[in-house]
Amino acid sequence: MLDGSTPKTGKIWKKVALEFSFDNRTMKHKFLVSPIGHHSAILGIKWLEQEQPEINWPSRQLSFPIPHSTLANIAQEEEADKNPLEGIPTQYHAFAKVFGEEEFHKLPPHCSYDIEIELTEDGPLNSPLYSMTDAESVTLKQWLEDELKAGKIQPSKSPISSPVMFVPKKDGSRRLVVDYRKLNEQDLPRPTRYPEEHELHVKEVLQRLMDMQLFCKGSKCEFHQTNVEYLGIIVSDKGFSLDKLKIQAVQEWPTPTTVKQVQSFLGFANFVRQFVANFSQIARPLHNLVKKEVKWQWTDKEENAFRDLQQAIVTAPVIVHANPAKPYFLETDASGAALGSVLSQCQDNGHLHPIGYLSESFKGAKQNYDTHDKELLAIIRSFEHWRIYLEGTTLPITVFTNHRNLEYWKES
């Protein structure tokens, strides 16, 4: 036998080297050939010494460490600011407890009531799990075991689940986070027009946080800002514009060489499509390329669409705030594949400036509509899309279309 003992069921015939699979691992080992009854093979001491499996004696199971594994270090919990009031305006120092170390190291108390989040029946209850490397999976499993033993977490019986992921930090470690973006808002913005009113609102927010024993990290708070970055969009008194980092990312985006890379670019571009006129028309060659059963072929048509979309995002204008005291101007257009429109208002300089863009591809039977029907559909969809602005206005709405026959559509 492999442990050096003499087999009881028969004599040893010969020694052979065999390659076999075990636990999804391919191994090569020397065996002694002998009749051993109903067993195909016996793996003995020498095999254990060679492969070094991990043995769970209570469950009688073997497992193998990840070959050439790398550790995914989970960052330690974030530390409180050494000087929590640094950068906090003096008028808010009365709420120092909100930013202090005492609140940082404890959870808020249980309330006398539960806050229920009502979800629609057809809403997504479960988010798909994110893919992880073997090293990340092992680290995640160990972290869960440690936190369960420490009593910091407990198994959930909720029918709703959210995925976890690792977020890299500047020091090379990784922070384990749960992606609750579908359920939670990101920030607490409090926009106001006058500084005195704004100060009262900020104090109201800080008072509520202090009453509920909730913590804010001062170094991550911004006060009295004229513009803020919110969900990747810069919001100011002038309107909405793209974050410079997003513009830079588009400028440096390499030319896609695979379908997945095209899908990745389109996913990014779709996030900012409200800043791009005729988005669907420009991006159509790229959308066609990622359809099922379409052979990969990157030609001048796809290259031009990619570059045009890049340029449109990089040069995207500021989307101004709507002013109900001013009249609206609607420009619509429809091509063979898509419709597009822009809602504008006249600014102080006498020029029209966009409030927003609409762009949609024609689907199903709409693709076969006559030209005048598509042009009319573009107007209808634009009024539906901007209903919040257009329905309540008492001023005339001017519609620009490049299809003159629509002037007489009521008479036909």
Q: How do the pLDDT tens digits run along the chain, 412 residues long?
A: 555 565 555 677 788 888 888 766 788 888 888 877 777 888 888 888 888 887 878 777 777 765 544 555 555 555 666 677 788 888 888 887 777 766 666 666 666 656 666 665 555 556 777 777 777 788 888 888 888 887 777 887 776 778 888 777 766 677 788 877 665 544 455 566 667 788 888 888 889 888 888 878 888 888 888 888 887 888 888 889 988 888 888 889 999 999 999 999 998 888 888 888 888 889 999 999 998 888 899 999 999 999 999 999 998 888 899 998 999 999 998 887 889 899 999 988 888 999 999 988 888 888 888 888 888 999 999 999 999 888 878 899 999 987 776 766 666 5
Cα–Cα distance list, 333 to 313, 357, 373, 375, 400 (Å): 20, 12, 11, 6, 9
Sequence-separated (6 or more) residues with CB below 8 Å from residue 148: 154, 155
pTM exceeds 0.85, yes or no? no
Question: What is the rounded distance in angstroms from the CA atom of residue 100 to the CA atom of residue 215?
Answer: 8
Question: What is the rounded distance in angstroms from the CA atom of residue 324 to the CA atom of residue 382?
Answer: 17
Instruction: Tell me which residue of 189, 211, 184 sits closest to 98, measured CA to CA.
Output: 211
| Plot region of 37 (φ>0 → left; ψ -120 to 50 → alpha; else → beta) | left
Instruction: Tell me which residue of 235, 238, 239, 215 sits closest to 225, measured CA to CA.
Output: 235
8 Å CB contact between 353 and 317: yes
| Alpha-carbon dihedral sign for residues 129, 131, 132, 134 | positive
Cα–Cα distance list, 353 to 145, 154, 161, 320 (Å): 57, 54, 43, 7
Count of CB atoms within 10 A of residue 273's CB? 20
Cα Dmax for the chain: 105
The domains of the chain, with CATH numbers, are: 14-63 (no CATH), 70-107+135-153+161-225 (no CATH), 244-314 (3.30.70.270), 322-408 (3.10.20.370)
Sequence-separated (6 or more) residues with CB below 8 Å from residue 291: none
**Ordered alpha helix ranges (H), 151-226:** 195-211
Question: What is the rounded distance in angstroms from the CA atom of residue 306 to the CA atom of residue 287?
Answer: 11
Coil, strand, or helix at residue 233? strand
What's 152's DSSP letter? S
Q: Which two tokens stand for residue 366?
A: 């709409």
